[in-house]
Structure 1
Amino acid sequence: MLRGAVADLTPLRTSADYRRIWFGQSVSSIGQQMTAVAVAVQVYTLTGSSFATGAVGLCSLVPLVAFGLYGGAIADTVDRRRLGLIGSAGLAAASALLAGQALLGLHQVAVLYAAVAVQGAFFALSSPARSSMIPRLLPAEQLPAANALATVSMNLGMTVGPMLGGLLIGLYGAQSAYLVDTVAFTATLYAMWRLPEMRPERTGTRRASVLDGLRFLREHPNLRTSFLADLAAMIFGLPRSLFPALAAGFYGGHAGTVGLLVAAPAVGALIGALFSGWVSRVHRHGLAVLTAVAAWGLSIAAFGLTSGHLWLGLALLAVAGCADTVSMIFRNTMLQVAAPDEMRGRLQGIFIVVVAGGPRLGDFESGTVAALATPFTSVISGGVACVACVLLLAARRPAFLRYDGRTPTP
């Protein structure tokens, strides 16, 4: 019974290329999360402002949206391996820039904002290519297992990265986190280098257009609703830009406490992914997505009531992270199964914009509300708004609740 509950490792056993990509992304994810904590701590230390810390998300949001959409279109026209290499090299260079500014003691928020914007551009440019590779490396029946393993990789980084980052920052300064991140990208670069050329399969002579992906979503409400549900969770229910202020003002801690708060949702998400063997037995994917997003919002709202009770707050953040993993697995599977191959790069580009851009917009939203009211007011109101959006989506799109993975309709 336990064997059927844990994550399926078949994709790692059957494909050496997928195994290298998975390992490389896991290592790089740890480094990137260390950098995220270091940037937040540096900005808050320099400004003492939750609004300025939240603006970090806004700085990466614009390049994420612009380059994510065009990155998806580019991924449908060029060698995806080469595009992945370029993006990973650019991310490594941005981390090296952050390390340089910390070592030189520049103390300029503008430099931090600029480096984050560069990171967002390279991440969005290469991520659709990397995501579009997976269905070419694995058979269709292994894709749900691969999605679960991808959440393990991501949340391993979000668990280990913030805690290690907080420890290193406290001992050796922000530059140590940035340097580790720079070196960590060698794993992804090696994985991309070992791949064969991977040009997209051609189904016609028409050039790939960014607008084609947007039109596809406009005409196919089930996939569109899955995107909107994730946006509701990330914009209104992700208070990570408030963690430095919450750690200092309400939990009596500093860099190490910030790392714990950032890592807590990832701990829950990692547990959810490790015990994801049951997801293949669920067929009502739309209902599962909305239920998971509602659970996320309720857990975040409850977290807002835990002022001064750090371990209770961490437990509620972990519950929220577990719910997010469930939502992510089903959303990814819906996208891969219901979307046609010829649209994969462009839809993955939009998906990256939603997944990566939503939290950045959420950083700005939560920081703004906290500046107008209080950090905990921002957390509670965000969780409640997330649940309200879920109820609205359920009322407007009842067909989404009936979506069945055995007969997928986009």
Structure 2
Amino acid sequence: MKRFLIDVEPLRVSAAFRRLWIGQVVSMFGAQLAFVAVLVQIWEQTNSTIWTGAVGLAKALPLIVLGLFAGAAVDRFERRRLYLITTIGSLLAAMAMAAQLLTGAMPAGALLGVIAIQSAFGAASGPVARSVLPQLLPRELLAGGIALNRIAFQGAMLIGPAAGGLIVGAWGPGTAYLIDCLTFAAVLYGVLGLPLLKVEAEVRPGLRGVADGLVFVASTPVIRGALITDLAVTVLSMPISLFPAINAERFGNDPRTLGLFLTAIAVGGVVASVLSGSYTRLPRPGVVMLIGAGSWGVALGLFAFAPNPWLALAFLASAGAADTVSVVARSTIVQLHTPNELLGRVAAAEQIVGSAGPNLGNVRGGVTAQFTSPMTALVSGAVLCVAAVVAVAATTPGLRKTVDLTSVP
């Protein structure tokens, strides 16, 4: 049974990873509180799925525009210092949102602007967080470390949205933003505990350095296939922007119920993370990723036709489990096949896919629902998701091959 449970060995062998992981657990919880608060505030001010979808656009655009340049910076400069700068920048943006406790609610457009600024700092903090992992853990423990990071995220999603709904319902969005600010102390503790993380190889400045990373991604079939799979899936089928409308139609528009939608996804994700030993030790992460990505689409299709709310939540939990399996396997593929001097740029490309992709998917879902219906948006996304996964599996045979977990890329 132990073989099927999550591998906690990375927490034992690396004190720096352990401190950083604890900080991320706490900070991610605060981020989930803020996310629910943003959705509620935007929905109350606009009553429009286009505006709730625009939250995803505000998060996605800075990642797309700045991500690859930020990734080149991660490969060029000392990573601990860069991580600290980006964390402080994100904290300042969170403080601007919390200031609404004193100044009153800012307009929806202004709030989206602050979110975009925070996402701009995230364009660098995401790749640097991914790139430090192989410098803190041995190669054979990378998949376990990725799974631990994933359970931190899913655990925050499990508790954060439900807690966010309660906090926002009782004291308003400003209180949730304030708690988010306070949780940044934990991630700062983790970053300050990192050793110096220099990159020995020289990175060409400007567009040439960015181009080197893109050439590597494009010329490495398994990485290219992994990123295309996730990009296609997330852009085509992400349902989060539809949740406020579904909540209003079926659950009485209660903020506490809105949190349950996200919590249901997290429940499945936590279960998949706890049992991650059953797939992180497998020598074919590409096959694991394809199965997880396809199962996400199937589960969302079933959610669209669920005859009662409890069954709907069960299908969302299944989708969350499938998503976690796919994400862990994708990140494992990327990190096992990327040399250290390119990790920042490849991690930036992965972040654009993993973060901007879902946000663009939320825009797609919101716009589709506005002009058709939430049901149409869900079903069309689920069908396109499964079709995209089948296409990638058929055209990328390298994803079906065994990976050596001990050799250096």
Q: Do residues 43 (structure 1) and 42 (structure 2) align? A: yes
> Any gaps of 5 or more consecutive residues in structure 1?
none
Which region of structure 1 is more displaced relative to structure 2, 13-22 or 190-199? 190-199
> Any gaps of 5 or more consecutive residues in structure 2?
none
Secondary structure of residue in 2 paired with 1:195: coil
Change (3 A) 1:396 1:173: same
Aligned equivalents of 1:136 and 1:52: distance in 2?
40
Aligned equivalents of 2:310 and 2:102: distance in 1?
34
Residue type at the aligned position of 1:345: G
Aligned to 1:68: 67
Which region of structure 1 is more displaced relative to structure 2, 362-371 or 99-108? 99-108
Aligned equivalents of 1:288 and 1:3: distance in 2?
20
Matches within 5 A, 1:80-119: 80-119=79-118
Please, what TM-score do these two structures have when normalized by structure 2? 0.95
Matches within 5 A, 1:7-406: 7-202=6-201, 204=202, 206-207=204-205, 209-306=209-306, 309-397=308-396, 399-406=397-404
Secondary structure of residue in 2 paired with 1:197: coil
CA contact (8 A) 1:394 1:400 kept: no
Residue 115 of structure 1 deviates from its aligned partner by 1.0
Residue type at the aligned position of 2:172: G
Residue 409 of structure 1 deviates from its aligned partner by 11
Please, what TM-score do these two structures have when normalized by structure 1? 0.95
Aligned equivalents of 2:333 and 2:15: distance in 1?
25
Aligned equivalents of 2:262 and 2:219: distance in 1?
37
RMSD: 1.7
1:89-119 deviations in Å (ceiling 9; x for gaps): 1111111111113542234011111011011
1:223-248 deviations in Å (ceiling 9; x for gaps): 11100111122112221011111111
Aligned equivalents of 2:121 and 2:65: distance in 1?
11
Residue 314 of structure 1 deviates from its aligned partner by 0.9
Residue type at the aligned position of 1:224: R
Secondary structure of residue in 1 paired with 2:288: helix
CA contact (8 A) 1:75 1:83 kept: yes
Aligned equivalents of 1:7 and 1:262: distance in 2?
22
Residue type at the aligned position of 1:182: C
Residue 266 of structure 1 deviates from its aligned partner by 1.4
Aligned equivalents of 1:48 and 1:102: distance in 2?
22
Aligned equivalents of 1:296 and 1:102: distance in 2?
38
Residue type at the aligned position of 1:402: R
CA contact (8 A) 2:203 2:209 kept: no
CA contact (8 A) 1:226 1:286 kept: yes
Aligned equivalents of 2:190 and 2:399: distance in 1?
39
Aligned equivalents of 2:298 and 2:144: distance in 1?
28
Secondary structure of residue in 1 paired with 2:251: coil
1:350-386 deviations in Å (ceiling 9; x for gaps): 1111111111101100000000111121111111110
CA contact (8 A) 2:280 2:329 kept: no
Residue type at the aligned position of 2:353: V
Residue 4 of structure 1 deviates from its aligned partner by 1.3
Aligned equivalents of 2:102 and 2:310: distance in 1?
34
Residue 303 of structure 1 deviates from its aligned partner by 0.5
1:36-90 deviations in Å (ceiling 9; x for gaps): 1111111111000011110111112110112221111001111111111111111
Aligned equivalents of 2:291 and 2:111: distance in 1?
37
Residue type at the aligned position of 1:27: V
Residue type at the aligned position of 1:403: K
CA contact (8 A) 1:302 1:316 kept: yes
CA contact (8 A) 1:222 1:409 kept: no
Residue type at the aligned position of 2:39: A
Residue 330 of structure 1 deviates from its aligned partner by 1.3
Residue identity over aligned pairs, in percent, reads 39
Aligned equivalents of 1:92 and 1:109: distance in 2?
20
Which region of structure 1 is more displaced relative to structure 2, 294-303 or 245-254? 245-254
Aligned equivalents of 2:101 and 2:373: distance in 1?
30
